[in-house]
Structure 1
Amino acid sequence: MKLSFKKRIATYNLLAVAALMAIAFAAIYAVVYYTSYKHLDDDIITEKTEVFSNLDWDDNAIIMRKMPEWEEAEHKQIEVNPTFIQIVNLKGQALFKSANLQGNHLLFNPQNKTTAFYNAIINNQRIRQGQFPVFNDKGKIIGQLTIGVSQQESYNVLHNLLIVLLATYIFIISILYFIMIFVASKAIAPVDQLIQSASRINDANINSRLPLPENEDEIRQLAETINDLLNRLESSFYQQKQFTSDASHEMQTPLAGIKGIIEVLLRKPRTAERYEEKLREVLVQTNRLSQLHDQLLQLARLESTVMIAKKDKVHLTEIIKKYLNTHETLIKKQAIQIQSSVPLEAQVWADSILLEMIADNLISNAIKYNKMGGNIFIDWNPANRTLSITDEGIGIDSDQLLSLFNRFFRADDSRSSQIPGNGLGLSIAKRLCDVQSIGLSVRSTKNIGSTFLLQFPS
């Protein structure tokens, strides 16, 4: 259906009202119809009782007594409310006809065995007929009595009523259509306002919001839902802009370093040892750029696809031991002591590959930001199924904790070339935790250390 929303509302409401009106008018007509014909049928039965009271029979013969009833005016006239009487025998021969029938006769069913009513026409006049079988003393049918009365008045009443009902129905439906259009226009006016307001929102004014209708109804709920969606889109929009800016900044640093080193080398000839030293610096910056590229690619894959964790029973000690061995060189270099109290039987339901990536990020952070000769405590709490990794490093200010899992965020004290990193590791770890319904949180005290908590589902 290509009708507008306003016209669809009007049409559906009109159809509903039209159906109800049709039922109501049909009921009115049916009641009047039944009442009219019931009145005629009652008159016919009354007449039948009088006629039967003046009939007699001898075996198979019907005997009619002479009585004033046969001479009544209603049985002689045919123009005004006449009553027609006809009696026939089993052979269909007329034994009696009222004078007003003249040369006509009433239709009847010779096989009729019960009382029957039906409509007929005599001399272009509509009549209501009742046919009654005549029984002798033995219960045998010996003839048929047919009585007819004029139904012209009832027909006229019903005909006029039908015309009035149809005309009224069409008139009301026609008026209602325009009323429904007007009402529908008023009903969807807030929707039109929302459409106009939404059409004006673009990337330049994405902070704009739809006006909320005064009524606490579904349209207000729709506006609130759209505003919530705009809030999420605005947040995502600014995150993307910030992501692009941060990525450019992070890539610019190693590129600027490489460019500076090459420019220094090109100014004048250097000794082989000097070239080797500067090439090592280029390699460090290149490795940093390569790591940034890998992590950006990994983060893009995580956020662009729907990840499904393939959970299984995983021994925590195996993963922790694996990544402590991976970072063994750095641990020894910084003289860090590892204090692990995770029991061998500690198991969790997780995706082993994703959990290894999380452990790698958290353990490498605990090593990088620890103090020289510090400790790393790795503990398992079976009561609430929580794994904690605690370092004795530089710590994080409390006002920076909420931003810690944002992409490219690094606490101010850690933004130096002495501590490698680009602020993507914890963002990736948080995304991997969310996929597995693992809670990731942090507690930290400035210059004392930080504790990262992994709470596994039961």
Structure 2
Amino acid sequence: MKSSYKQRIAWRLTWVTALIISAVFVLIYMVADFTLIRNIDRELQLETEKHKDQIFLVRGEIRFLHKDEWEEMEHTQLQLNPIFIEIVDLNGVSMDRSPNLGSQHLLFTPEKAQTQDAWTLKIGDQTVRQQQIPLINDGQTEGYLLVATSFQDADELLTNLRNVLFVLYPMILISLFLTMRYLAGKSMEPILEIISIANQINQKNLNERVPDSNLNDEIGQLTHSINRLLDRLEQALIREKQFTSDASHELRTPLSVLRGTLEVLIRKPRTAEEYQEKIQTALKSIDKMTSIIDQLLALARVESTGKLVHEEVELIAFVEELVDQKKLEFDRVIHFNSQVGFPIYVKTHEKSLKMILENLLQNAVKYSSSDTSVVVEVGMRSLEPYIQVIDQGCGIEEENLEKIFDPFFRTQDALQNPVPGTGLGLAIVKKLCQESGIKISVSSILSRGSVFRLDFPKQS
């Protein structure tokens, strides 16, 4: 069974802390070991230097500067830090030693004779630190002085320190894990509260929100993010309901006309002219439904399309060619105007840009009288290319400027003066612009016309 997030946090923090504590304990032990050995070696070095100036080997004979030194209490009795001394010849054979060695001998190591480094060894049941130096007479080495001091107390101290650290280590880790788990649980309480509230929000009460903690920490940011997500979901659901309602209404109208026309035809025999008239009415209803369905499919394709592949397009030539095509198709005056005298290259999805401009031009032609012209302008401002579609039509009320991009939205003027269309063209334009990274904006004055502007990202 997978552990909870609280448990995983506690384990991770405990493992990290365990590594840190182990490193600290090892460092403590190493510092203690180094300090004790350094102090003992310093005392040993002082003792060695003192005896080195008092003991000589002359042609295999030991001579003392102060013979009575060997009778001192420190060499005849066991003390807190006794000093052990032994003199050996070149082959390591003992020539003399301090009385406190008894029957024991210090260890002669030829390879350490020149380095004069101290090392730890066992003499009987006692641990000592030993150093050996050569005894030189007239430039010749005639033997070695071995000096050692007890390391027993220091060794016991280091052993006790190691044992204490080994015992403390698991105890600290267990206490740390329990503490971490408790603190992790307390830290998780605000998140668990958010989860509980979020689980109670569904489609029926999507207007509810997670209580704002008014904190600027990560919990506050999480609350803000969830509430913003719920805002977007609520708006999307409202738009979906509105879209479904509008689509049903738009399709129901031509279906009702079609059904009514066919019911009239079958009530009684009709003349050929009446049949032809009613069939024409039915075909118009079918054409309208076909147009709505085509636009709905186009909008669905745009919304389901993944990331569009952008390619380089020369904007002036592209727009001018499209304008020439639409002049013939719409049989209207459409002027092309370039504000720059050099090519403008943009990275965009060519088919999407073509569909955007076709819809904008179609709207411009539909909502303006036949004796007025439409202008398509291409230019660049601050390295940002733009296209403007300018008409001299009826214009749009200021409060409707944002709504015109909603599916099936029609202005009051369009409803009163029926204009062919489904109300989906600008919704498709808006969606294509979002997918292509193009910013679309509109400005309009009633009875004077509208300007739709496409701004492309800054070109490097």
Smaller-chain TM-score bracket: 0.7 to 0.9
Question: For residues 38 and 353 of structure 1, what CA distance do their matches in structure 2 show?
Answer: 83
Matching of residue 317 in structure 1 with residue 320 in structure 2? yes
Question: For residues 346 and 260 of structure 1, what CA distance do their matches in structure 2 show?
Answer: 59
Report which stretch shifted further, 270-279 or 411-420: 411-420
2:118 aligns with 117
| SS of corresponding position for 1:312 | strand
The 5 A counterparts of 1:169-184 are 169-184=169-184
Question: For residues 85 and 300 of structure 1, what CA distance do their matches in structure 2 show?
Answer: 100
| SS of corresponding position for 2:57 | strand
Amino acid at match of 2:25: F
- Post-superposition CA distance 1:4-45 (Å, at most 9, x none): 322232233333333333333333333332332233223322
1:22 aligns with 22
Matching of residue 342 in structure 1 with residue 340 in structure 2? no
Question: For residues 437 and 27 of structure 1, what CA distance do their matches in structure 2 show?
Answer: 59
Q: How far 1:78 moved relative to its partner? A: 4.6
Amino acid at match of 1:104: Q
1:268 aligns with 268
Q: How far 1:381 moved relative to its partner? A: 6.2
Q: How far 1:223 moved relative to its partner? A: 2.1
Question: For residues 224 and 265 of structure 1, what CA distance do their matches in structure 2 show?
Answer: 61
Question: For residues 309 and 34 of structure 1, what CA distance do their matches in structure 2 show?
Answer: 68
Residues 55, 65 of structure 1: 8 Å contact kept: yes
Question: For residues 182 and 151 of structure 2, what CA distance do their matches in structure 1 show?
Answer: 46
Residues 126, 152 of structure 2: 8 Å contact kept: yes
2:235 aligns with 235
Question: For residues 245 and 266 of structure 1, what CA distance do their matches in structure 2 show?
Answer: 31
Change (3 A) 1:94 1:379: closer
2:219 aligns with 219
Question: For residues 91 and 441 of structure 1, what CA distance do their matches in structure 2 show?
Answer: 103
Q: How far 1:339 moved relative to its partner? A: 6.2
Question: For residues 31 and 269 of structure 1, what CA distance do their matches in structure 2 show?
Answer: 115
Report which stretch shifted further, 47-56 or 342-351: 342-351
What's the TM-score, normalizing by structure 2? 0.87
2:13 aligns with 13
Report which stretch shifted further, 19-28 or 151-160: 19-28
Report which stretch shifted further, 273-282 or 116-125: 116-125
Residues 76, 99 of structure 1: 8 Å contact kept: yes
Q: How far 1:118 moved relative to its partner? A: 1.8
Question: For residues 218 and 70 of structure 1, what CA distance do their matches in structure 2 show?
Answer: 77
1:335 aligns with none
Question: For residues 50 and 455 of structure 1, what CA distance do their matches in structure 2 show?
Answer: 94
1:364 aligns with 362
1:327 to 330, 336, 341: 330
Q: How far 1:87 moved relative to its partner? A: 0.7
Change (3 A) 1:213 1:343: closer
1:52 aligns with 52
Matching of residue 282 in structure 1 with residue 277 in structure 2? no
Question: For residues 356 and 177 of structure 1, what CA distance do their matches in structure 2 show?
Answer: 63
2:372 to 375, 378, 388: 375
Residues 374, 391 of structure 1: 8 Å contact kept: no
Report which stretch shifted further, 129-138 or 40-49: 40-49
Residues 376, 392 of structure 1: 8 Å contact kept: no
Question: For residues 53 and 439 of structure 1, what CA distance do their matches in structure 2 show?
Answer: 96
Change (3 A) 1:441 1:38: closer
| SS of corresponding position for 1:208 | coil
Change (3 A) 1:141 1:374: same
Residues 388, 451 of structure 2: 8 Å contact kept: no
1:108 aligns with 108
The 5 A counterparts of 1:61-72 are 61-64=61-64, 67-72=67-72
Residues 365, 374 of structure 2: 8 Å contact kept: no
- Post-superposition CA distance 1:47-97 (Å, at most 9, x none): 323322332232465434661111123322357643321111012221102
Amino acid at match of 1:321: D
Amino acid at match of 2:276: E
Question: What is the root-mean-square deviation of aligned Cα atoms in Å?
Answer: 2.8
Question: For residues 4 and 63 of structure 1, what CA distance do their matches in structure 2 show?
Answer: 80
Amino acid at match of 2:321: E
Residues 339, 375 of structure 1: 8 Å contact kept: no
Report which stretch shifted further, 268-277 or 179-188: 179-188
Report which stretch shifted further, 350-359 or 319-328: 350-359
Question: For residues 54 and 352 of structure 1, what CA distance do their matches in structure 2 show?
Answer: 103
Question: For residues 38 and 355 of structure 1, what CA distance do their matches in structure 2 show?
Answer: 82
2:429 aligns with 429
Change (3 A) 1:216 1:165: same
Q: Which runs of 5+ in 2 are unaligned?
A: none
Residues 374, 392 of structure 1: 8 Å contact kept: no
Change (3 A) 1:29 1:309: closer
1:162 aligns with 162
Question: For residues 62 and 342 of structure 2, what CA distance do their matches in structure 1 show?
Answer: 113
Q: How far 1:147 moved relative to its partner? A: 1.7
Question: For residues 266 and 417 of structure 2, what CA distance do their matches in structure 1 show?
Answer: 24
Question: For residues 147 and 346 of structure 1, what CA distance do their matches in structure 2 show?
Answer: 97
Amino acid at match of 1:304: S
2:392 aligns with 391
1:143 aligns with 143
Counting aligned pairs with the same residue, the percent is: 36
Q: How far 1:202 moved relative to its partner? A: 2.0
Question: For residues 451 and 359 of structure 1, what CA distance do their matches in structure 2 show?
Answer: 13
Question: For residues 50 and 380 of structure 2, what CA distance do their matches in structure 1 show?
Answer: 102
1:193 aligns with 193
Amino acid at match of 2:442: V
| SS of corresponding position for 1:404 | helix
Q: How far 1:389 moved relative to its partner? A: 2.3
Change (3 A) 1:206 1:105: same
Change (3 A) 1:264 1:311: farther
Change (3 A) 1:274 1:311: farther
What's the TM-score, normalizing by structure 1? 0.88
Question: For residues 346 and 376 of structure 1, what CA distance do their matches in structure 2 show?
Answer: 26
Change (3 A) 1:310 1:101: closer
